[in-house]
Structure 1
Amino acid sequence: MAYKVEKSDEEWRAHLTDEEYHVLREAGTERPFTGEYTDTKTVGVYACRACGAELFRSETKFDSHCGWPSFYDPADTDAVETRPDHSLPGRPRTEVRCAACGSHLGHVFEGEGYGTPTDLRYCINSIAIRLEES
């Protein structure tokens, strides 16, 4: 698939730290409750750490107590893309990627009863995003 932001593997490695590269380009996951944005309440926009595309806004962030920042809706319907993830045997999930560069952000879960307007929980790695304060 062609993305608006295309870089070679070498360019991504030069642009990202080892940990950022592991999560964003290799679909890794940071440890729960360790990310910089897990509990933040700061108002602003969350952008892709790899390419800077706007992904989520603080007004859709909520406390899910899952260990990662949670949002109930992307900033724009085209901001993220989803795809099936069968990497954990017997536990299918839906992966969330930046629509601009294809970087892995986390996963989205539905029907967990959080009472959010969309009944979705976008569970996003802090290291995959950067908060731009308003």
Structure 2
Amino acid sequence: MLSPYSLARQMNDQISIAKGLIEIANERSDVRFAMDLTSQISHLQVILSDAAIRDHDGSQSTLAESKAAIQNMAFLLNEAQQLEYDAATTIVKLKDKIDNLELETRSINEKSSKYGQIAAEAIQGIFTVSVLD
């Protein structure tokens, strides 16, 4: 198990959070932010992959690169927080959308029912006229 203070643990945690934020950014049509997060995730994954392949000894260059990548991702995660890209806000907004869609659906169903009734009455009127002739 990774120590909560290890760089690998921090990077993995940031990747997990960022993946969720990408979905929220896409939902809000914020393509630029989603691309920034995707790029940073890829960068963190490359660092983790390189470290695993090398089975590194904690070289200073690797540590510096890891810390810089963590700081860059932290900046993006902070930006997401400023934009209110959190799960609770997104859930509330999605529930509002669902409620609006349900109202729209009810309205459309009512209109459809009325149009069906009008059509049935028109057909009955045509049938009645043709029977009387």
TM exceeding 0.5: no
Higher strand share: 1
More contact order relative to length (CA 8 Å, sep ≥ 6): 1
Higher helix share: 2
| TM-score (norm: length of structure 2) | 0.24
